[in-house]
Structure 1
Amino acid sequence: MNVKSKFCKVITLISVFIAAGPALAGDKITLMVGGYEKQIYLPAKLAESLGYFKAEGLEVELLNEGSGVDAEGELLTGAVQGVVGFYDHCVDMQSKGKYMQSVVQLAQAPGEVELVSNKYPQIKSMADVKGRNLGVTGLGSSTNFLTQFLAVKAGVPLGQFNSIPVGAGQTFIAAMQQNKIELGMTTEPTITRLLKTGEARILVDLRTMESTKQALGGTYPAASLYMTSTYIETHKEITQKLVNAFVKTLRFINTHSASEITDKMPKSFYVGDRDSYVKALDGGKGMFTADGMMPIGGPETVLAVLSGYSKNLKGKKIDLSKTFTTEFVKKVK
């Protein structure tokens, strides 16, 4: 073999190696989750545990962030490629000239509960929150959106109650125990923990479709995977792979028991009480969609809720068709 032939052979081998590289080393993606130990965002850790991201050729890093508003900021700066958080951020951000879209809808109900400390038996409804400290995960978070709406709807205007950012889990529990908040909105497994100890009771329940419709006036699409519209348009293949993984995860949730799903989750998420974790999941896993599709009428309910109190939306025309897409979910086999 002459020198020219050897050179051509080397070039050919290098070309083959380069072409094969991306398939061997999965696409690296960073997703921020608004508290991945919360059951409302369970699909993110479950997809990882089941190996569905890797099966799609993705190397996904899940970053934990207790408040959706902070995750939203990371997305806008490009620090992360996607957020597992509430769809309502996509509507709110459009009012500020920022375009985000839910690419797969994980939940059709918030999975949240407004809990009131049993130290305050006089608080019997949201109409009694005037002058009270109400716990939320963060200012500008979805828990704050919903809290503000429920208070205003009950006749207590903004400015006549205090939204106190206390996070979730142990920090929420400590805030209630120390009387920093009299009531607050939180998720499972925190809900079950406080009910089990008798420290709190439910004031408003948003864990099921039925109770959500009663409290908010319709179906409220909540947990989702959302990304900036620009990223989606320029990274369709990666977006499709992510949606594939999440839809397969939703199918797993829909076809397996709460106990079977719990076995796939990190034991630290049980907070030392697996039985309560299973019980909470068994009662709440109906909040998850079976196929990742946006529920009909859901975006309209979210817009109505946010418009009910938010100054950001006053006088603004929101194009709901630009806040979500079903393009990728429809392509999942």
Structure 2
Amino acid sequence: MYPTFKKMRTLALASMVVAGLASQHAAAADDGKVTIMVGGITKLIYLPAKLTEQLGYFKDEGLNVELLSQPAGVDAENELLAGAVQGVVGFYDHTIDLQTKGKDVEAIVVFGQVPGEVEMVSTKAADSIKSMADVKGKTLGVTGLGSSTSFLTQYLAHKNGIESSQYTMLPVGADASFIAAVKQGRIDAGMTTEPTVSKLEKTGDAKVLVDMRSVDGTKAALGGSYPASSLYVQSEWVKKHPDDAKKLAHAFVKTMQFIHSHSAEEIAAKMPADYQKDKELYVGALKASLPMYTADGKMPADGPETVLKVLSAFNPSVKGKHIDLARTYTNEFVIAK
């Protein structure tokens, strides 16, 4: 009898531990905690994420938000699908790509009405590369193969009569690793964002070839506005947490309004000091980036079609597939009162 009693007591204790853990997990899930993975938190294209935290807008909405950084957008996407994070601050185009793989993901706030990407040409190669029509036989840097920068690079080259078999794409990451690739001569040109663009211009190592930091520049390059940086989440999460989605959208919309009502200097003053080791360069890069941000977090009307056009040309997952663009984004939460 004693062994049986001992066994029952052990099982009972185990059940209590499991129940306790489950209770803790439930409490954690209901305490407003939201973890967001940012595809490179120091990049200015994703500035609204950290700025919202710095301004205290998450707390104002009663949210407990944790921001994590993952330089590669594809890796951030995987974290979302695995359930390790509730949201990703990354490029909107991931929502289109994921739909072809049976994953329902939608952008609920749009930060960038344009990519904020710039094709930079190494000063050493500037004499031979005057436009994307001159990249035949060259090595072009991208953040990663299969990344947004790779599809944009292929599209720009194709538009100028150069097919992807006629040049080499080399994944070189962003910021310091991108700068190193330019300095070491491993790439002739490459696509990157601020503040890397301003750093390369300041040192004289590279020049702007194609500028997609503004609406006009983007329309000239791609034929329309190109929504890029955004907050995207799994559609199932939105259904289960509509209040959190609404609060996140409200916090971010307040940030977009702050950006459009303050100078680059005033915005920079709110950001962490370690983001701007060269204050003058950071402010200059931010000034050049301000036109990219939406004022209200809404999806530009012509944006999804432009993104689909680019992806359909070079993303094998999207090419030839039917995409329901209405399922890839919503303005519901940014306009909710």
> Please, what TM-score do these two structures have when normalized by structure 2?
0.89
Counterpart CA distance in 2 for 1:157 and 1:276 is 36
Equivalent residue in structure 2 for 1:189, among 183, 187, 195: 195
Counterpart CA distance in 1 for 2:310 and 2:174 is 23
Mapped pair 1:308 → 2:313: yes
Aligned residue pairs total 311
* Aligned counterpart, 2:48: 43
* Aligned counterpart, 1:125: 131
* Aligned counterpart, 2:267: 261
* Aligned counterpart, 1:287: 292
Counterpart CA distance in 1 for 2:147 and 2:212 is 16
State the AA in 1 paired with 2:228. A
Which deviates more, 153-162 or 93-102? Answer: 153-162
Mapped pair 1:154 → 2:160: yes
* Aligned counterpart, 2:14: none
Deviating 4+ runs (over 6 angstroms)? none
Counterpart CA distance in 1 for 2:50 and 2:181 is 27
Counterpart CA distance in 1 for 2:248 and 2:114 is 22
Counterpart CA distance in 2 for 1:119 and 1:219 is 32
Equivalent residue in structure 2 for 1:233, among 239, 246, 266: 239
* Aligned counterpart, 2:179: 173
Q: How does 1:1-333 map to 2 (within 5 A)?
A: 26-120=31-125, 121-270=127-276, 272-331=277-336, 333=337
State the AA in 2 paired with 1:324. Y
Which deviates more, 309-318 or 205-214? Answer: 309-318
Question: 1:226: how far off?
Answer: 0.4
Q: 2:144 aligns to what SS in structure 1?
A: coil
CA contact (8 A) 2:311 2:319 kept: no
Counterpart CA distance in 1 for 2:187 and 2:78 is 26
Counterpart CA distance in 2 for 1:114 and 1:239 is 34
CA contact (8 A) 1:26 1:54 kept: no
Deviations 1:172-231 (A, max 9, x none): 101111112111111111100101111101111000000100100001111100011111
Q: Is there any run of 5+ residues in structure 2 with no aligned partner, and where? A: 1-22
Mark the CA change 1:59 to 1:222 in structure 2 (over 3 Å): closer, same or farther. same
Counterpart CA distance in 1 for 2:151 and 2:272 is 30
CA contact (8 A) 2:139 2:189 kept: yes
Question: 1:26: how far off?
Answer: 4.4
Counterpart CA distance in 2 for 1:145 and 1:266 is 32
Counterpart CA distance in 2 for 1:152 and 1:96 is 26
Q: 2:317 aligns to what SS in structure 1?
A: helix
Q: 2:88 aligns to what SS in structure 1?
A: strand
Counterpart CA distance in 2 for 1:140 and 1:55 is 38
Question: 1:51: how far off?
Answer: 0.8
* Aligned counterpart, 2:7: none
Mark the CA change 1:98 to 1:131 in structure 2 (over 3 Å): closer, same or farther. farther
Counterpart CA distance in 2 for 1:131 and 1:33 is 34
CA contact (8 A) 2:313 2:319 kept: no
Q: 1:53 aligns to what SS in structure 2?
A: helix
State the AA in 1 paired with 2:284. K
Counterpart CA distance in 2 for 1:129 and 1:96 is 32
Counterpart CA distance in 2 for 1:93 and 1:152 is 24
State the AA in 2 paired with 1:259. E
Counterpart CA distance in 2 for 1:58 and 1:139 is 35
Counterpart CA distance in 2 for 1:99 and 1:122 is 44
Q: 2:166 aligns to what SS in structure 1?
A: coil
Counterpart CA distance in 2 for 1:235 and 1:160 is 48
State the AA in 2 paired with 1:304. K
Counterpart CA distance in 1 for 2:170 and 2:63 is 38
CA contact (8 A) 1:149 1:308 kept: yes
Question: 1:96: how far off?
Answer: 2.2
Q: Is there any run of 5+ residues in structure 1 with no aligned partner, and where? A: 1-17
The percent of aligned pairs where both chains have the same amino acid is: 58
